[in-house]
Amino acid sequence: MRDSGSTTREAVLDIEGMTCASCVARVEKRLVAVDGVAAAVNLATESAHVSYPADLPEERLVQAVAQAGYTARIRPVHTRAHPDGGRVHEAEDAPGVTTLRTRLMVSTALAVPVVALGMVPAWQFPGWQWLSLVLAAPVVLWGGWPFHRATFANLRHGALTMDTLITMGTFAAFGWSLWALLFGSAGRWGIRHEVVLIGPVHDATSLVYFEVAAAVTVFLLLGRYIEQRSRRAAGAALRALGELTVPEVELVDGRTVPLETLRPGDVFVTRPGGTLATDGTVVDGRADVDESMLTGEAVPVAVVPGSSVTGGTIVHGGALSVRADAVGADTRLARIAQLVENAQMGKSRVQRLADRISAVFVPIVIALAVFTLIGWILAGGSVPEGFVAAVAVLIIACPCALGLATPVAILVGTGRGAQLGILVTGPDALENAQRIDTVVLDKTGTVTTGRMRVRRAVVAPGVDEARARRIAAALEAGSEHAVARALTLPDAPVVADFAAVPGRGVLGEVEGVRAFAGNAALAAAEGAQLPADLAAALEDSMGTNVIVGWADDDGRMHAAAVFELEDAVREDAAEAVAELSHGGMRVLLLTGDAEPIARRVAAEVGIGEVRAQVGPEGKLAAITQLKAEGRRVAMVGDGVNDAAALAASDLGIAMGAGTDAARHAGDITLTGSRLSQVGTALSLSRRVMSVIRGNLFWAFAYNVAALPLAASGLLNPMIAGAAMAFSSLFVVLNSLRLRSAR
């Protein structure tokens, strides 16, 4: 539970017992019926994300779920801070999966001889039906108990679900067979029997269907077991984030303590090859840090004292002492995991439609099964023929695939995105991303790195460039300005009498002489004249300039060099722009910088359209204009001045190294520093939505095609059970293809 405002809170509920889309719809309906509650229930994650009034007891949420016929528990806050919600277990270790596997194995062993006896007349012997009864009974009653338990629990609350169809179908086949065996007109020991897999039942005296009840139960157990394992695999990316954490941490004083006891301000040690316990600042040591799992960056980042590091990343080449800055739910890893899980809990517009259909689907199917039986009798068919057709209708129509079509695809897709350094806020962002035709790029911090570098150096006649660089580095070493970092050197001399002149530059004594580094105003204030070469360099410059000078033997200041600085273009910027253009995207550069600088950067990366000297209001106006022209616009930015444009665009993409305002306004956040992730994000979104559409199409098409076959008697219940299980498996396997998306 956490506050999301002064009057509302948010909580995550872990829900047990949901099996299909109609279950999801029922739980959601009960939760939102509570005053002030908004809920999104997800079958794939078996959880609900709930927003509720701050004065509402959490127990009321649990009660609402119980009223729907399911059990729920509030996920503890410390568990929610864990990147996988506290569910890091192997599939076989989960209690529900182990029980299901046991039921499947035992039921299969019992059902095989039942099916063999029913299908191979040569193996039948006097009284074989009684052996079939003895073997089939535990399969139907014990093996199928997970379905029956859910059915009875839901019936107590007036709910009809997928499990209702399974229970009705298997109980009908088993009950009819038991009645026929005990009281059938063909005689207790002389009942004739045949099995027809596809096509009408031609023998009206084929009254015993124990193998149907047993085989259908086994097929459904197999489908449910594979489904659970596949859904487990679908969440692998989120669990991988969870596995980045360490259970214990070594403090700088040598003590080893549990991670949950670590507090901000504590200093801990990470050895080479070790995992950083939490977010912090390096206080001692130098090393390379592998951030690939969080950012998708393959190249390790060099860190030194003062560098910020992220929990879950791996240290190479040295030991680090780190001061913890954030712990638990406040870490970057936990926030990323929360974003991923929130996205996985959401629903696309098309899935919400499927849920509404599924909510009324089960009653319609039950009515259709009754009409099928009545129709067969009225049409002159036998009761057994009508009965088999009705059972097939009940079995084939289970809407499990509809419930899994969207959430499993989103689960896999957003998890894969997290592995690639792409965080998606939810299904709406995925739907919007697939329709984008225009990409607007900010310049500083987006197309460029936001870090200044020396583009060229111009020195006065007789001046040693190396000395000019050394003096500039010494002066700038004491400055925090972004310009200063471009001029610093690791072996710069020590500066004395340092002074910063706001808005102009810095002064100090270096190697025994008075020196300065700054703009033209500072040079003029120091009485330094600019030689013609330096004046020409300033005139031609399209970047930021730093004038460096020092005093001669007479104490007079002279301008010795001009360093022209530029914001370095990202290494992959040109490739990223080319990829977007080849994909049919219109690409624009939108920046507050001067026109010459903007056009130089645009030309370097291959952008043809440039709008320069545009402030925050101008960026917002540009996005609004493009949308008015009918364009579907994605805005990519990183700064506070981009926040309004990010929020107004159809799809806001925030660079992960940018400001909090930009990240909060964006629909997608790129945790790495590669512009090529923009194209990857759009491509991944299109693939996820394509898979969702394919899943829903086949789930609907399966029911539309199969129900008439079942009602007409052309589909045996055993085949119906296998087909129903396969439909769910198909949806999951189709979604798992996204695990290899790039």
Listed in order, strand segments (DSSP E) in 572-671 are: 586-590, 609-611, 633-637, 651-655, 668-670
Backbone angles phi, psi at 171, to 5 degrees: -65, -35
The residues near 379 (Cβ < 8 Å, ≥ 6 apart) are none
The tally of CA atoms less than 13 A away on the side-chain side of residue 208 is 30
Q: Which residue is catalytic, options 84, 442, 638, 642?
A: 442
Cα 361 to Cα 223, 661, 722: the distances in Å are: 20, 44, 20
In the block, residue with structure tokens 């909060």:
664
Residue in 639, 663, 660, 658 with CA at minimum distance from that of residue 590: 639
Residue 715 to residue 706: CA distance in whole angstroms: 8
Cα 324 to Cα 262, 305, 423, 629: the distances in Å are: 8, 13, 24, 49
Give, in degrees to the nearest 5, the angle at Cα 196 between 195 and 200.
135
DSSP state of 122: G
Provide the CA 372 distance to its chain's centre, in angstroms.
44
Residue in 241, 280, 277, 238 with CA at minimum distance from that of residue 260: 277
Q: Sign of the C-alpha dihedral, residues 724, 725, 728, 731?
A: negative
Backbone angles phi, psi at 522, to 5 degrees: -70, -40
Please answer whether residues 595 and 612 qualify as being in contact, where contact means their C-beta atoms are separated by less than 8 angstroms: yes
Beta bridge partners of 406: none
- Note if 290 is an active site residue: no
**Pair of tokens at residue 556:** 């007079």
| Catalytic residue set | 442
